[in-house]
Amino acid sequence: ATAARKSLKIGLIPADGIGKEVIPAAREALEAVLREDCDAALFGSVSSPSRKVTGYTSPIVALRKELDLYANIRPVIAVPANPAEKPSVDMVVVRENTECLYVKQEVIINTENGREARATRLITERASKRIGKMAFEIALGRPRKQVTIIHKSNVLSITDGLFRESVRAVPKLPEVNGRYDGVKIEEQIVDSAVYRLFREPQIYDVIVAPNLYGDILSDAAAALVGSLGLVPSVNAGDKFVMGEPVHGSAPDIEGKGIANPLAAIRSAALMLRHLGYDKGADRIDNAVNEVIREGRVATPDLGGKSHTNEVVEATQSPEDLRS
Ligand code: ATP
Ligand code: MG
């Protein structure tokens, strides 16, 4: 990561649902490692309206668009019982955040044979190259330096074909100047990628995928590490970064004080890492990993009986955060 800037302003957007419970928790972790002085934001969760509201657009979707947060970066790591061991799952899913089927251009037409629904799937060279670049950049900072491109170009040869070709072209771009020459490129057809994800997750390092495949793959990967309450993400663009736990607003547990705050806390760390504050990020991640490893304090999603605030306290042992 690049050198840290001196002052940093972070907007906190708890929104609703358990977002209101997990973001204050992550705030404490942030305050423990830096003095707040918005270069970045931390987002909780929003529930979609239960009834159809005309003209409603999700605020998170609007924020991603407005701030051009074109990459959703989701690291999925299993914490081994013994810190000396290698994690059995240690991957980063880099999901394109702006196009594919999410352009939401759907139409329904009446035909002689009944209704017909169509959706537009947009893949551009520009968006595929920039997400590819993000994936190569992330791979460069990891020991294995491997990027796996996910696609279905055997069927969707034009759209997925363009995605695949554009990502493959990144290391050869003149402006890249050979920077990614040491990064190994693999590729997988999406269905076989899911199969292998469950059978041999260790084969993956950095996964780069169009929007919809990335969404599905990262939720599947979250299942491998035990709980949605553990998996962080950042929405990143070239100018702004927004941390956001992968989970939603979890209305079934809202207000009970049992939301697992670790995904939000890890999202705070990931956001710091993205801004170049590696030391602060390491301190938060180490504290979180220690709490998971010990297993003494755990919320019900992990089989424990602890409350959100007890998990927060456990992550704040003086050695870990304040040293
Ligand atoms: P949304 O519509 O906002 O996405 P959702 O109903 O899909 O909400 P999720 O937040 O995606 O709910 O959660 C799916 C399941 O995982 C729920 O049963 C929820 O209780 C559980 N869950 C999600 N996040 C957490 C968390 N941080 N701690 C504990 N359980 C969680
Ligand atoms: Mg959800």
Distance (Å) from CA 213 to ligand 2 centroid: 16
The contacts of residue 235 (CB under 8 Å, 6+ apart) are 43, 63, 64, 67, 69, 71, 72, 73, 97, 241, 242, 244
- 180 assigned to active site: no
Q: Which atom of ligand 1 is nearest to the CA of 248?
A: 10
Please name the amino acid found at residue 143. Answer: P
Q: CB of 49 closer than 6 A to ligand 1?
A: no
High-pLDDT (> 90) share of the chain, %: 69
Both tokens of 316, joined, read 């704040």
Give, using CA atoms, the residue closest to atom 25 of ligand 1: 229
Residue among 70, 102, 204, 213 flagged as catalytic:
102
Both tokens of 133, joined, read 């670049």
Q: What angle do CA 157, 163, 167 make, to 5 degrees?
A: 135
Q: CB of 253 closer than 6 A to ligand 1?
A: yes
Which one is predicted more confidently, 323 or 147?
147
pLDDT in tens, 203-256: 999 999 999 999 999 889 988 998 899 999 999 998 889 999 999 899 999 999
Give, using CA atoms, the residue closest to atom 21 of ligand 1: 250
Distance (Å) from CA 20 to ligand 2 centroid: 16
Q: Which residue has the tokens 């060279």?
A: 125
DSSP 118-158: EE--B--HHHHHHHHHHHHHHHHTSSS-EEEEEE-TTT-TT
Is residue 3 predicted with pLDDT exceeding 50? no
Q: CB of 44 closer than 6 A to ligand 1?
A: no
ipTM for the whole complex: 0.94
Quick one: 189 exposed, middle or buried, by C-beta within 10 A (0-12, 13-18, 19+)?
middle
Band (36; pLDDT cuts 50, 70, 90): confident
Distance (Å) from CA 111 to ligand 2 centroid: 34
Distance (Å) from CA 184 to ligand 2 centroid: 33
Collapsed DSSP state (helix, strand, coil) of residue 94 = strand
Both tokens of 19, joined, read 């977002």
**Which residues are near ligand 2, the ion (C-beta closer than 5 Å)?**
248
pLDDT in tens, 242-296: 999 999 899 999 999 999 999 999 999 999 999 999 999 999 999 999 999 999 9
Nearest residue to 150 (alpha-carbon basis) of 91, 104, 63, 108: 91
Which helix H or strand E contains 22, and what residues bound it? Answer: helix 19-33
> Which one of the ligands is nearest to 254 CA?
1
Cα–Cα distance between 311 and 323 in angstroms, integer?
19
Give, using CA atoms, the residue closest to atom 13 of ligand 1: 250
- 320 assigned to active site: no
pLDDT at 139: 98
- 282 assigned to active site: no
Cα–Cα distance between 288 and 232 in angstroms, integer?
12
Band (28; pLDDT cuts 50, 70, 90): confident
* pTM, full prediction: 0.85
- 285 assigned to active site: no
Which one is predicted more confidently, 5 or 177?
177
Q: What is the mean pLDDT of the chain?
A: 90
Q: CB of 260 closer than 6 A to ligand 1?
A: yes
User: Where do the DSSP E strands lie in the chain?
Assistant: 10-15, 40-45, 71-77, 90-96, 106-111, 114-119, 146-151, 184-189, 206-209, 234-236, 241-243
Cα–Cα distance between 184 and 140 in angstroms, integer?
10
- 152 assigned to active site: yes
Give, using CA atoms, the residue closest to atom 6 of ligand 1: 250
Other C-beta atoms closer than 10 Å to the C-beta of 286 total: 16
Cα–Cα distance between 71 and 59 in angstroms, integer?
17
Q: CB of 248 closer than 6 A to ligand 1?
A: yes
Residue among 70, 90, 133, 152 flagged as catalytic:
152
CB 258 within 8 A of CB 224: no
Q: Which atom of ligand 1 is nearest to the CA of 18?
A: 27
